[in-house]
């Protein structure tokens, strides 16, 4: 993988995100459709947990995930803290399987990656790198002793 300065990676991510937004609009529905196709039980979690409307909670979680992906390069430590706090909270307090948590992040990144044209390998590399970073942070959080204590 090519090593690029942070500012360049951020710019590459930004142009891919703009293109995805222009092509798809709000990412919430297509992301959640993909998550529900993979894990039908995830829909029950959103129904059970939303205090307002389901779409509001779905939208907020996709937005939070996008925030984590787009801040990964410049604020990695902050994003790691968010994941290390929120993944166990989602698992232990909200009863959300970490696999579902992680697939929301995978599908959010993948829907953007799917819109990158073949001749923009640089944008693809930037998004794949950040996707790997965020999913890696989730894998670490899943392995934390706190979570292992309550794991089935
Ligand atoms: C299956 C997917 C998910 C469901 C059903 C879900 C559900 C929820 C609910 C019900 C809350 C509010 C309740 C509380 O704070 O105790 C919440 C908060 C939060 N979630 Fe999620 N979540 C999901 C995925 C994610 C993912 C992938 C991330 C991070 C990348 C995330 C990050 C957060 C954060 C940071 C908060 C606290 C701030 C806020 O309420 O906006 N969630 N989530």
Contact 1, 129 (CB under 8 A): yes
Q: Does residue 103 fall inside a structural domain?
A: yes
Our answer on whether the CB atom of 62 is closer than 6 Å to any ligand 1 atom is no
Atom of ligand 1 nearest to the CA of 85: 35
* % of the chain at pLDDT higher than 90: 89
- Per-residue pLDDT band for 149 (boundaries 50, 70, 90) equals low
Q: Does residue 1 fall inside a structural domain?
A: no
- Per-residue pLDDT band for 3 (boundaries 50, 70, 90) equals confident
For all residues of the chain together, what is the average pLDDT? 94
Separation of 118 CA from ligand 1 center, angstroms? Answer: 33
Q: Does residue 80 fall inside a structural domain?
A: yes
In testing the pocket of ligand 1, which one of 56, 66, 76, 90 has its CB within 8 Å of the most ligand atoms? 90
Q: Does residue 127 fall inside a structural domain?
A: yes
Number of Cβ within a 10 Å radius of residue 113: 16
CATH, residue 85: 1.10.490.10
* % of the chain at pLDDT higher than 70: 97
Q: Flag whether pLDDT at 33 surpasses 80.
A: yes
Separation of 94 CA from ligand 1 center, angstroms? Answer: 9
Q: Does residue 73 fall inside a structural domain?
A: yes
Q: Flag whether pLDDT at 70 surpasses 70.
A: yes
Atom of ligand 1 nearest to the CA of 82: 35
Separation of 131 CA from ligand 1 center, angstroms? Answer: 18
Atom of ligand 1 nearest to the CA of 134: 30
Token couple for 118: 């073949």
Indicate the number of domains in the chain. 1
Q: Flag whether pLDDT at 146 surpasses 90.
A: no
Q: Measuring CA to CA, which residue among 23, 8, 12, 13 is closest to residue 115?
A: 23
Q: Flag whether pLDDT at 41 surpasses 90.
A: yes
Q: Does residue 152 fall inside a structural domain?
A: no
Write out the DSSP string of 38-97: H-THHHHHHHHH-SS-HHHHHHHHHHHHHHHHHHTTT-HHHHHHHHHHHHHIIIIIS---
Q: Does residue 117 fall inside a structural domain?
A: yes
Instruction: Tell me what pLDDT residue 40 has.
Output: 94
- Cβ-Cβ contacts under 8 Å for 40 (sequence gap 6 or more): none
Q: Flag whether pLDDT at 132 surpasses 80.
A: yes
Atom of ligand 1 nearest to the CA of 104: 27
Instruction: Tell me what pLDDT residue 151 has.
Output: 54
Distance CA 19, CA 25 (A): 9
Our answer on whether the CB atom of 42 is closer than 6 Å to any ligand 1 atom is yes
The domain of 24 spans: 6-147
């Amino acid at each position: 993988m090519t090593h690029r300065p942070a500012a360049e990676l951020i710019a590459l991510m930004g142009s891919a995100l703009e293109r995805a937004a222009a092509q798809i609009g709000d990412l919430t529905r297509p992301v959640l459709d993909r998550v529900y196709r993979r894990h039908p039980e995830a829909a029950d979690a959103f129904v059970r947990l939303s205090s307002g409307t389901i779409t509001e909670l779905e939208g907020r979680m996709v937005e939070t995930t996008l925030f984590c992906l787009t801040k990964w390069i410049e604020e990695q430590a902050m994003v790691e803290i968010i994941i290390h706090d929120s993944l166990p909270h989602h698992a232990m307090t909200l009863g959300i399987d970490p696999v579902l948590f992680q697939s929301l992040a995978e599908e959010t990144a993948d829907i953007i990656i799917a819109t990158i044209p073949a001749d923009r390998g640089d944008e693809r590399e930037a998004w794949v790198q950040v996707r790997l970073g965020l999913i890696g942070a989730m894998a670490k959080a899943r392995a934390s002793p706190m979570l292992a204590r309550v794991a089935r």
